[in-house]
Structure 1
C-alpha cells in the first residue's frame, strides 16, 4: 500500500520521461484496499455511523440528572415586595418515576402566603410517578431503544454502502483488464503483421514474391493499426472510469500509464473473498439488506408498544416531604408534605386508536417487504450463480478454441514456408485467432463482472485490507 501511495503521489507531482517509465503491477487487492480506505463514499458511510452514535448519545440525555435553580425579586420605592429563591435536583429513572429534591427560601412584604417558608428556607424531597400511561413504558424509553436499533442498522447500512462502492470499483477494474488485454492482442498482432510486411517487401524487391502480396500485407498492417487505435481509446476510457475510485487523503488521483494489471494471475472470486460461496451462497435470512429491514420491524414493534401505552389514562402522582433541617436525625416527618394528583383521559381515544392502527399497518407493510426482498434476493443469487457456472464452462471452451486456432496459424505458416500457402490464408487464420482471443477475453470479462455482481448481491463485507 505504501508503495502504491508513493507511486501515485509521484505520478501527480512529477514529470517522467518516456524512456524512464517502467510498468508496475496494480493488483485488484491493492486497488480495493485503496478504495475502501480513501473513497469519499466510504468516509460518508462512516460519518452516517457517527451520526447514529450521536443520536444514541442524545437519547440517553433524557435520563441525565438535572439541576435547576432561579431567583425572582421585586423591589419598589424601597419596599421589597418579594424575593423568591428556588433550586431543584431531578433524577429521571428508567420507568415513569422521577426522584426530586429541592430547596426554596422566600421572603417579602407582599409575599404570597402559599410561598411562605421558614427563615432558613425549606427543604423537600420526593417522587413523581406516572401510575398508568408512562409507568412501564414511555417515550424516553422508546427513544433510547430506537436509537440503539438505528445504531445497529447504521452499521449494517454502512457495510452495504461500502460493499456497493467496492462492487462498482471491481467492475471498473474488470473493464480495465478487459480493454488492456484487447489492446495487448492488437499490439502483438500488429507487430507480427509489420514484421511479415517487411519480409514480404524484401522478398518482392528480390523478385521472389508477387508485388501484390506487399499491398495485401500493408492493408493488414493498416487495419490492425486502426484496431489498435480503437482499442487504445477504449482502454483510456476504462482508465478514466477506474480513476473515479482512486483517492488519497481527499485528493482524486488519475491512474498512471505505468500501472498495468496482471490478467494471467488474476482471480476475482479469491480477491473478493467469495470463492467458497460460488454455487453455495449463504441463506438470505442473514443478508444485510434483510437485517436492515428487520431492524425496521423492531422499530415498528416499539412504536406499537408505545401507542398501546398511550391508550391508558394519564395519572401523575407527586409526593414531597418537607423539612426545615436536613441534618436533624428525625428530619423526615410524614405530616409535613406537599402532594398532588393529576388525571387526564380522552373519552373517545380516537387519536390514540388511530396512531396504534397506523403503527400496525406500517409493521405489516414491513413484513411484506421483507418477504418480497427475501424471494427476490434468493432468485437473484441463484441466477448469478448459474451465470457464473455457465461462463466458467464457456471460458474453458473459448480457451480450447484459442489453442486450436494457434495450431492452425502455426500450420499455415509452415505451409507458406514450403510454398503451399499464401499471405491471404495466413491473414485469414490470424484474423480467426484474433477473433477467438477477443471472444475469450470478452467471456472472461463477463465472468469477472458476474463474480462482482454476486459479491454485490451477497453484500458481504470485504476483509482483504
Structure 2
C-alpha cells in the first residue's frame, strides 16, 4: 500500500521506470532465469564425470585356497577418453594360478591406463555430454537475453500506447469542454431570443455524443494501464496499473537511430541467433560423437605394479577389441544427428533473414513515422487556426453550429492523428532496437 501511495504521488511515469520494473519483476524473465540456473547446474553435474573417484574393496576367500585381498585407490576418466587408476593392493594366503591377486607382504602400488584408439578417443560419451550441457547453458543464457529484449519491447509498446490513450482522452475532454462552455452561452442567447432553440438542442446532442466518446476514451486508458501493469509490477510481483495522474503530458524527445552501417554485425549478435548458435554447437558435438561411435572399440590397456618393499616392478599390456556387427544403433544415431544439425542450420538461416527483414521494415516505418509526425502536427495547427476563425464567424452569426461542430471535429481528428503519428514513431524506435536484439530501449 505504501508503494502504491508513493507511486501515485510520484512524477510522471517514464519508460525507464517501466523497464527497470521489467528486469526486476516480470515472471517470464524470472522463469527464464530459473531455466538458466537449471542448465548451469546440469553443466556442473556433467563435469562430475571427470572427477576422480576413490574406491576400495576387500575379499576374503575360504576353501582349498584361503586368501585375502584388499585394494584402495583412485580412478577416473579424462576429457580425451583415456581412463586411469592408481592405488595400493595387498594379497595374502594361498592363491591358485588363475588368481593374480597375490602380492608381496607389504603390498604393491598399482597404476593402470586404458587408452581408446578409435571409439571413445577425444569424443567420449562423457565429454560429449559435458560439452552439450555447456552449450545448453549458453543457449539458456542467450534465451534469457532474448526474452529480456521481447519483454522490454512489450513494456515499451504498452507504455507508449498508454501515453497515447491518455492524450486521446485529453482531446475528447477538450472537445466536451468546448461544447459545455458553449451550452451556457447558447442558453442565455435562447432566453434573450437572439438564438433559435434548435441550436441549443443541437449543442446538447453534441454534449451527449462527446460525453459518450470521453467515457470510451477513459475506458481505453484503463485498459492500456492494465496492460502496462503487467510490466510495471509492485514489489511483491503483482500487476500494478499506473494511475492516470502519472500520465506524461508530452512525449520524450525522439531518439537518434543506430548507425545502419553496423546493422549486419549487430543483427548477427542478436540473442536469439546466439541461442541457435549454441544449439548448433551442441548438435555438432553430438554428431561428432555419433561419427566416433561407428568405429570399433579398440583399447590399449597398460598397467604397472611396484612392490612397496622396492622389488622389481611388474608391467602389463594388452589390447581389447569389440564392435557391433550390424551397427544399426550407431548408424541410426549418426543419421539423426546429421538431420538435427541440418535442421538447426536452416532455422538459423531463416531467423537471420527474418531479422534483417524486420529491421528493414522497422527502419522504413521509422522514416515514415517521422514524416507523419511533422505533417500531422502541422495539419493539427492549421485545423486549430481554422477553428478559431470559424468560432468568430459563429459568434458574429455568419456561421451555424453545424459548421462550427465540423471544425471542432476536424481539430479532434487532427490532434488524434498527430498522437497516432507520435505513437507510430515511438513504436518504430522500439521495433528497430528489438530487431537489432538490443535490450537497452529508448527511455524517457
TM-score (norm 2): 0.88
| 1:102 equivalenced with 2:80 (yes/no) | no
| 1:297 equivalenced with 2:293 (yes/no) | no
Which moved further from structure 2: 191-200 or 92-101? 92-101
- Alignment gaps of 5+ in structure 2: none
**Displacement, 1:263?**
5.0
1:47-126 correspondence runs (5 A): 47-72=34-59, 83-106=68-91, 113-126=99-112
1:65-464 correspondence runs (5 A): 65-72=52-59, 83-106=68-91, 113-262=99-248, 264-267=250-253, 270=255, 275-277=256-258, 282-283=263-264, 284-325=267-308, 330=310, 333-334=312-313, 336-462=314-440
**Displacement, 1:160?**
0.4
Q: Note closer, same or farther for the CA distance 1:86–1:242 as it changes in structure 2 (3 Å cut).
A: same
SS of residue paired to 2:263: coil
Which moved further from structure 2: 278-287 or 310-319? 278-287
User: Is the CA contact 2:95–2:101 (under 8 Å) kept in the aligned structure 1?
Assistant: no
SS of residue paired to 1:318: strand
Residue in 2 that maps onto 1:18: none
SS of residue paired to 1:26: coil
For 2:23 and 2:162, the matched residues in 1 are separated by 19
For 1:291 and 1:125, the matched residues in 2 are separated by 44
Q: Note closer, same or farther for the CA distance 1:191–1:347 as it changes in structure 2 (3 Å cut).
A: same
Give the root-mean-square deviation of aligned CA atoms: 3.0
| 1:45 equivalenced with 2:32 (yes/no) | yes
User: Is the CA contact 2:359–2:431 (under 8 Å) kept in the aligned structure 1?
Assistant: no
For 1:100 and 1:29, the matched residues in 2 are separated by 59
Q: Note closer, same or farther for the CA distance 1:379–1:281 as it changes in structure 2 (3 Å cut).
A: farther
User: Is the CA contact 1:23–1:258 (under 8 Å) kept in the aligned structure 2?
Assistant: no
User: Is the CA contact 2:57–2:72 (under 8 Å) kept in the aligned structure 1?
Assistant: yes
**Displacement, 1:407?**
0.3
For 2:14 and 2:261, the matched residues in 1 are separated by 26
SS of residue paired to 1:100: strand
**Displacement, 1:293?**
2.2
**Displacement, 1:401?**
1.4
User: Is the CA contact 1:279–1:385 (under 8 Å) kept in the aligned structure 2?
Assistant: no
TM-score (norm 1): 0.84
Q: Note closer, same or farther for the CA distance 1:451–1:278 as it changes in structure 2 (3 Å cut).
A: farther
**Displacement, 1:102?**
1.9
Residue in 1 that maps onto 2:4: 8
